[in-house]
Amino acid sequence: MKILGLTGGIASGKTTVSTYLKEMGYPIIDADKVSRKVVEPHTEGLKEISHFFGNDILQSDGSLNRKKLGEIVFENKDKRELLNKILSKKIRTEIIDQIEYYKKQGADVLILDIPLLFEGGYDKMCDFTMVIYIPKELQIERLIQRDGLTRDKALKRISAQLDSAERNSKADIVIDNSRSIEDTHNQVIEWLERNNLMLEKWGELQLWNAQIVIKTVLEL
């Protein structure tokens, strides 16, 4: 089984590419979903977070207020590092368990969708790494529009992550997501084909779709 690590800076469009790969039939391990799982109500992860950060980061139903916690850790490097210390081992264990599951299922290619792929050392688990990239000004603009942040807060969130130039330098492929979605998809497909990572059933699906289109046209 080949593992492709997928990452990118905040608001870079990584999720768009991950969704596209999922639609193509690739199994995905989504680190954001894993991070939510390990802090569900009554988990050790959530108990530890509330112990160190206080009950103010909890919703009325006992679940984690992710927005409140995000405001705290993005403003304070020490608290960000503390949160990472609390959760990193739990997240890594869950991701490794899921990798083993897909191996047993006989997956040919597995996607690790991890925002902190390089920072967390997850790239060492991968055969290839793909970075989704957009220029900084566009990144700021998208983050402000998406999350309703001020420019200053958007910059703080971007600076809390690995510098884009360093991230790009570590990748096997950098996908430029500053143009159209179609252009991004084409870059992804071309790279997958070049590295023999295309799923056979994707080719079969394309052929089936083409046959349906031809049949529809002929019946008009």
For residue range 1-47, list pLDDT tens digits in order.
999 999 999 999 999 999 999 999 999 999 999 999 999 999 999 99
What distance in Å separates the CA atoms of residue 182 and residue 52, rounded to the nearest whole number?
45
Looking up residue 27, the CATH number of its domain turns out to be: 3.40.50.300
Tens digit of each residue's pLDDT (9 = 90 or more) over 167-212: 999 999 999 999 999 999 999 999 999 999 998 765 544 443 444 3
User: Domain range holding 97?
Assistant: 2-219
pLDDT bin (cut points 50, 70, 90) of residue 216 is: very low
Closest CA to 7 of 147, 114, 135: 114
pLDDT of residue 200: 75
pLDDT given at position 147: 92
Enter the tokens of residue 107. Answer: 């997956």
Coil, helix or strand at residue 192: helix
| Residue of 37, 19, 35, 16 lying closest to 132 (CA atoms) | 16
Instruction: Give which of 44, 12, 3, 6 is closest to 139, Cα–Cα.
Output: 12
- Split into its structural domains, the chain has a count of 1
- Are the beta carbons of 171 and 128 closer than 8 angstroms? no
